[in-house]
Amino acid sequence: IESGARTGWTVYLPPLVQKRPARECEIKFIAPQVEDPLVYLSKMDKKSKKKWKRRAYACVYSAGKTCHSQVEADFEDRRWKKITKPRKHKEGGFRTWDATFVLTDWEMLEKLRVREPETFYQLYYEREGTTYLNALVGAEDLGGSLNKQFASRRRLADRGGCKFNLLKIQSPHYDTSVDSDCVELETSLAKSSDSKKNFVVQKFVKGQDSPEVLTSSSISSGKNPCKDGSTSAWDQTPTIVWEGMSKPLLLPQKRSFDVRSYMLIGSTMPFMVFFRRGYIRTSSAEFRSSNKNNYEPHRFDKSTEFMSLAEFQTYLAHNKIAGGHYVDTLLVSAMKQIALFTFHAARQKIERRR
């Protein structure tokens, strides 16, 4: 910082942020919050004749799943060592995963708890403060099936004494196992003047990923899931019906979109939750209300076309759809409230760890 006479400084101070140390550092810094990290010594450097300390990470997923390539690239940039097959060793009579950071998901954690309870106990509880995890037991209400997410949010709304659909967090949802929801669905069908209005019927059937899309007329003519009491045969999950938006806001070239925002649970003792605004994901094809693929809930997951929220704000303002500060003042604020609501809906089921 070089300042003038106004502040009284008379000498030139060096930059507060120094250049990143060279790769030939003698010992790689290890964060103090990790009490007992697993460290590997890499090969001896020929010039300095010293070995480097490296953290280790492991990918523990179900069959067919691996760490994302970008995640692995990030670890490599940080000079972490990957354990391709996590070694198991005896520690107090139990087996434990030998890594400082274990990348996994809640599904794998649940399988470990059922199939290898001792290993799960060591990994999740005994190695608190020693092994980091990127997943939490009980977090399926945040990132699990749409049915579980809806059920948890509905319970939180009921505890607050309000109806979930009145919050307008998402399009109206109806649980076919709840009588009051079936009455609301019948009311919505009766009020709908559009016989081609689409309703998405999410019936979880093993081996089937895509939901069924029905029109108002087809539901009224005998395909009403409320009347047949249909459930998923493999786990008796009730069928969920929600209204599809037949006239959504569209981007140029009549593309539909969604907002990809992020919520990170950085700590559970105490709870520390972070929010990031994210970006816009656009569809690859023109939106047509008659095309049932436009109502598939995961249609944006493989999208390759994106737009920043700043670009989205410019588009809204230039086309006189919203004011010049709609995204910053209203949209982002609403997104934060929804993220907080979603977290509190799943909070009670999360098994906390350091």
Residue type, 114: V
Task: Give residue 331's pLDDT band: very low, low, confident or very high (50, 70, 90).
Answer: very high
Out of 44-53, 55-64, 244-253, 289-298, pick the least confident: 44-53
Q: Cα separation of 39 and 99, whole Å?
A: 9
pLDDT of residue 40: 54
pLDDT of residue 332: 92
Taking the CB of residue 240, how many other CB atoms lie within 10 A of it?
A: 23
pLDDT of residue 345: 92
3-state SS of 147-187 is HHHHHHHHHHHHHCCCCHHHHCCCCCEEECCCHHHHHHHHH
Task: Give residue 16's pLDDT band: very low, low, confident or very high (50, 70, 90).
Answer: very low
pLDDT of residue 51: 55
pLDDT of residue 196: 60
pLDDT of residue 54: 65
Out of 62-66, 68-72, 280-284, pick the least confident: 62-66
Is 50 exceeded by the pLDDT of residue 7?
Answer: no
Q: Cα separation of 214 and 288, whole Å?
A: 15
Task: Give residue 6's pLDDT band: very low, low, confident or very high (50, 70, 90).
Answer: very low
pLDDT of residue 38: 53
| Greater model confidence, 193 or 75 | 75
Is 80 exceeded by the pLDDT of residue 98?
Answer: no
The rounded percent of the chain whose pLDDT value lies above 90 is 13
Cβ-count burial of 247 within 10 angstroms (0-12 exposed, 13-18 middle, 19+ buried)? exposed
Task: Give residue 342's pLDDT band: very low, low, confident or very high (50, 70, 90).
Answer: very high
Is 50 exceeded by the pLDDT of residue 125?
Answer: yes
Average pLDDT, the chain: 75
**Which string of DSSP letters, residue by residue, matches 262-321?**
EEEEEEETTEEEEEEEEEEEEEEEE--TT-GGGG-TTTTTT--EEE-HHHHHHHHHHTTS
State the residue for tokens 């550092």: 25
pLDDT of residue 119: 83
| Greater model confidence, 251 or 34 | 251
Out of 18-22, 111-115, 138-142, 315-319, pick the least confident: 18-22
Structure token digits, residue 293 = 């693929």
- Beta strands 132-133 and 305-307 are unpaired
Name the DSSP letter for residue 254. Answer: G
Cβ-count burial of 17 within 10 angstroms (0-12 exposed, 13-18 middle, 19+ buried)? exposed
Residue type, 189: L
Task: Give residue 52's pLDDT band: very low, low, confident or very high (50, 70, 90).
Answer: low
Q: Residue 48: phi, psi to the nearest 5?
A: -90, -15
Is 80 exceeded by the pLDDT of residue 273?
Answer: yes
| Greater model confidence, 110 or 289 | 110
Mean of pLDDT values over 66-91: 75
Residue pLDDT, tens place only, 180-207: 888 888 888 777 665 566 777 766 544 4
Q: Cα separation of 256 and 251, whole Å?
A: 6
Is 80 exceeded by the pLDDT of residue 286?
Answer: yes
Mean of pLDDT values over 269-286: 88
